[in-house]
Amino acid sequence: MNESRPTGRASVPSGRARVPQPQEDPWADVAPVPGRAQVPPRGPSGSAKVPSGRAQVSPGGPGGPGGRGPGSGPGGRGPGGPPKGVVRSGRRRPRWGRILLVVSGLLVVVLIAGGLGFWTYLKSVGDDVKRTDAFAGLTGGRPAKTVDGAFNILMLGSDSRDPENIEADARTDTIMLLHVNAQHDQANLISLPRDLWVHVPKNPNGEGGNTNAKINAAFAWGGAPLMVKTVEEYTGVLVDHVAMIDFDGLRAVTDALGGVDMMVDQDVTSIHGNHRFWAKGMQHFSGDAALDYIRQRKQFPDGDFARIRHQQAFLKAMMDKAADSGTLANPFKLKGFLDSLTKVVVVDKEFELVDLAIQFRGLRSSNLTFLTSPNAGPDTIDGESVIVSDKQKARALYEAVNRDQVADWIKANPPQK
């Protein structure tokens, strides 16, 4: 009987010499699997290695308890065998790094394709916005551009109740000048009361104008071009873009945001429709309720100025909801928001609504200051109830707009409480 010795040479089963091929033990750093039955190491064919055609069972041998028979060293492992307690399958381990790289690459391709597809959609939304030649006939005599990067948008709101034909409505109940600073991180929204008494210049189309009147008469007489000319003459500020908004249509935009929250400054019952009642304090508004509320003015001591405040509060609430709910930063939410918005606006031919929405997606109402064009309050002129301009303060404000220094004007003219 031959005794097995750990001579450091390969055993020779079946009487033939076999020269072992040196190889690095791939299992050297693999921890044992507890609780599994031990399986003898497998040879090149995948079958159990059986010297001399017979299975050998080692009680531990010189390698100590748990050793694997001939050649076992102090660690209980024979040369080339798996570590103690490990089942060797005979298969190569999967290349997880390579698999993850391939999957990650495919995911990037999918995301890029999806992103490009959504960007294409957004650009198509811009193409769907209704447009008008808001500057038709306006050639010479316009204010100069004073600060590169800053721009001004004239926002005209109506209650046409016909979003498909906003321009046909002769009423402009809302007139606002939105000034965006050169850094595009601050904005000022200046409301011009619809009854503000101003000089309406000659209509670019040659019909009407060139007289003093309420400022909203300009739109009735000459549409957007005459309104632009009137606002530019009164303020001395260049209008870069025009957006006409059907306020009645904003109910759908509001509902797309899930409603908005506004502070009600006094108990009030609507004089319209189903006579809704709102208690003083913070209230949540659906689209219908919000549009009803911002039309109320006769129940408030300051009349039309209350309506202006409520319109500003409504726009602020919409802006906060769009930003805080992630609408402007979430492609899918932004889609629904823009779909509803494009149905209720008409813009000038160069206005890029989608680019503006994306550019200002992080803007909050804290970056937007609401103002009302300086005025001396109501008066009666030629038998009409009008709002009289405070020309000195108004001139200073609009000069600050031209210099892109509205923040300095506000510090010098803090709002009255």
As its CATH architecture, domain 129-412 has 3-Layer(aba) Sandwich (3.40)
Residue pLDDT, tens place only, 116-163? 455 555 555 656 788 899 999 998 889 999 999 899 999 998 765 454
State residue 216's pLDDT score.
93
Q: Which of 38-52, 240-254, 381-395 is modeled with the greatest confidence?
A: 381-395
State residue 348's pLDDT score.
92
Average pLDDT, the chain: 75
How big is the chain, counted in residues? 417
What is the full DSSP assignment across 345-380? EEEETT--HHHHHHHTTT--GGGEEEEE--EEEEEE
Half-sphere exposure in the Cβ direction for 295 (13 Å, CA): 19
Q: Residue 396: is it exposed, middle or buried by C-beta count within 10 angstroms (0-12/13-18/19+)? A: middle
Among the listed residues 374, 253, 248, 243, the one whose alpha carbon sits nearest the alpha carbon of residue 317: 253
- Say which range, 64-78, 209-223, 382-396, has the weakest mean pLDDT: 64-78
State residue 356's pLDDT score.
72
Residue 185 scores a pLDDT above 70 = yes
Residue pLDDT, tens place only, 261-285? 999 999 999 998 889 999 999 999 9
In terms of DSSP bridges, do strands 268-269 and 187-191 run parallel, antiparallel, or are they unpaired? unpaired
76 — pLDDT class (breaks 50, 70, 90): very low
C-alpha–C-alpha distance, residues 391 and 313, integer Å: 26
183's CB contacts (< 8 A; 6+ apart) are 149
CB 315 within 8 A of CB 323: no
State residue 345's pLDDT score.
86
State residue 380's pLDDT score.
95
Q: What is the identity of the amino acid at 349?
A: K
Residue pLDDT, tens place only, 240-263? 999 998 888 788 889 888 899 999
C-alpha–C-alpha distance, residues 298 and 270, integer Å: 10
State residue 36's pLDDT score.
46
Q: Which two tokens stand for residue 164?
A: 């498909």
- Say which range, 1-5, 217-221, 270-274, has the weakest mean pLDDT: 1-5
Residue 363 scores a pLDDT above 50 = yes
Residue 68 scores a pLDDT above 60 = no
C-alpha–C-alpha distance, residues 244 and 171, integer Å: 11
pTM of the full structure: 0.68
Residue 297 scores a pLDDT above 80 = yes
